[in-house]
Amino acid sequence: MSRRMRQLASHLFAVSLAVLLAAPAAVSAQTGGPGFLFRRPAVQLGLRWGYSVAHAGSGIYSYVTDSLTLNKSDFNAFMIGGQLAFRITDRLDGAVDFAYAGATRPSEERYWVDNNNLPIQQKTTFSRIPLTFRLKWYLMPQGQSISRFAWIPAEWAPYVGMGAGVMWYTFRQSGDFVDWQTLNVFTDRFESSGNAPTLNVFAGADVSLNKNFVLTGEARYDWASARMGQDFIGFDKIDLSGVQLSLGIGARF
């Protein structure tokens, strides 16, 4: 993700957080409550953004953080995603969810310099794209029917859930490196990419802004790992697990 995109995501995240904190007071201040709908919404379409914290628990991360000026926190990244949710029962929703988190970090060899006493530099890119089907269980009703023809959304509705699907990933390094056997400096590009099954659990809450729009805050943990490509012989699997913290806005239909 470019610096401009990271700055935009950061600004959106800050604005969303401010709106989320102000939302309960704004909803309570409405003289007529959160509003009436002529029918219970069947679909919710949302966009969310936030931060993805990589677990970074496999050998490849230990290797690159030891030999290069990288830390495990360098594999964290801003994320953006979307969700299409549909009602199954009064408290159970199904949803199709996707997200993208990725970053490119510069680094140098920790222990070596080149023949001109200059740093040996490279870049590392790490990205993850999970696509999952999720079940969301609401701990309280999402709203209340007051007749056959009117429905009032709840001011807020907490939920928990789990999901499963597939995660695509890319791990790429390009630049100059040291051959530890000959100590020669060479330029190259190494890449491993593919996909793997993924599972996640999550918890969050929907806060009604009005009868049609809702803010959502969510914490989620993904489990996934995948075999690395031929460019990384000697490393078995790459850990793709991690935490997502996000805020989003959705529209009810």
pLDDT of 36 = 57
Q: Supply the mean pLDDT for the chain.
A: 88
Nearest alpha carbon to residue 137 among 165, 102, 163: 163
Structure tokens at 44: 């919710």
pLDDT of 34 = 56
Q: Which amino acid is at 170?
A: T
pLDDT of 156 = 94
Give 7 or 136, the one with higher predicted confidence: 136
Residue 3 has pLDDT above 60, yes or no: no
- pLDDT tens digits for 14-36? 544 444 444 444 434 333 345 65
Beta strand 119-138 pairing with 242-252? unpaired
Structure tokens at 30: 């409405």
What is 3-252's CATH topology?
Answer: Porin (2.40.160)
Q: For residue 174, what are the contacts with CB-CB under 8 A and spacing of at least 6?
A: 122, 123, 188, 189, 190
- pLDDT tens digits for 77-98? 999 999 999 999 989 999 999 9
Per-domain residue ranges for the chain? 3-252
Instruction: Compute the average pLDDT of residues 64-86.
Output: 97
- pLDDT tens digits for 100-133? 999 999 999 999 999 899 999 999 999 999 999 9
- pLDDT tens digits for 236-245? 899 999 999 9
Instruction: Compute the average pLDDT of residues 144-161.
Output: 86
Residue 65 has pLDDT above 80, yes or no: yes
CA gap 59, 64 in Å, rounded: 9
Q: Which of the four pLDDT bands, split at 50, 70 and 90, describes residue 37?
A: low
- pTM score of the predicted model: 0.83
